[in-house]
């Protein structure tokens, strides 16, 4: 799930591409591989994956809220 969300599939549905989902899977796999090669503990790898999951869910929502706030600001000053 983390890889697909990281690839750009929106948790609310209706957005994202298959290519983005595949890119997310490869990105997360590569990150886990690098962390394993660097002897990062399993617990730390889970934390990193969790942080990426939270950021991939919250990032688009925060960006959407900022865009709405800017649009409201522009329409109220115009």
pTM value is 0.68
Q: What is the pLDDT of residues 8-67, one digit of tens each?
A: 776 666 677 788 888 888 988 999 999 999 999 999 999 998 998 888 878 778 888 898
Res 76: pLDDT = 77
The backbone torsions φ and ψ at residue 29, rounded to the nearest 5 degrees and listed phi first, read: -65, -40
Burial 13-34 (b: 16+ CB within 10 A, else e): eeebeeeebeebeeebeebeee
Question: Tokens 């649009």 — which residue?
Answer: 71
For residue 78, what pLDDT is reported?
A: 59
Write the burial class of residue 9 (CB in 10 Å: 0-12 exposed, 13-18 middle, 19+ buried): buried
pLDDT given for residue 14 in this prediction: 60
**pLDDT tens digits for range 10-25:** 666 667 778 888 888 8
């Amino acid at each position: 799930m983390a890889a697909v969300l990281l690839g750009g599939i929106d948790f609310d549905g209706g957005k994202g591409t298959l290519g983005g989902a595949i890119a997310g899977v490869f990105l997360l796999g590569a990150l886990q591989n690098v962390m394993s090669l660097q002897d990062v503990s399993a617990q730390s790898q889970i934390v990193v994956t969790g942080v990426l999951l939270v950021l991939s869910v919250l990032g688009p929502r925060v960006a959407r809220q900022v865009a709405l706030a800017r649009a409201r600001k522009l329409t109220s000053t115009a």
